Amino acid sequence: MIRFRFALLAALCWPALGHAQGISGFTAQDANRQRALERLLDSLVQPASVRNDSRRLSAVPHVAGTPAQARTADYVLRQLALVGFDTARVSFKVMPPTTTAAWWRWTSRGR
């Protein structure tokens, strides 16, 4: 997972200016650098790590304001801090829409 996060950080911080043939918004030289960076990032991303994070984050419903959501936020903050991001928790009050009751009515067509 650390390799994936480093790759993501590198992609976000890599400058690319100008226009290029083949890649809109890049000069020809920068397009070559961009392609090299993309090859590097592709080599760093490990599908098993991405799969592990996805499974961990989706294992339990984490509705806003619940302890499960706090655990999810803690996990994401820890993972970002591992790759050098300066993380902080910010609290604010929200009123998420919730359902207090659900009604289902089964109907049958053609009967």
Is residue 105 a part of any domain in this protein?
no
12: domain range? Answer: 2-82
Is residue 108 a part of any domain in this protein?
no
Distance CA 87, CA 84 (A): 9
pLDDT at 110: 61
Is residue 97 a part of any domain in this protein?
no
Is residue 90 a part of any domain in this protein?
no
Please write the tens of the pLDDT for every residue from 39-83. Answer: 988 887 788 888 998 999 999 999 888 899 999 999 999 988 887
Domains identified in the chain, total number: 1
Is residue 24 a part of any domain in this protein?
yes
Q: For residue 28, give both structure tokens.
A: 């020809």
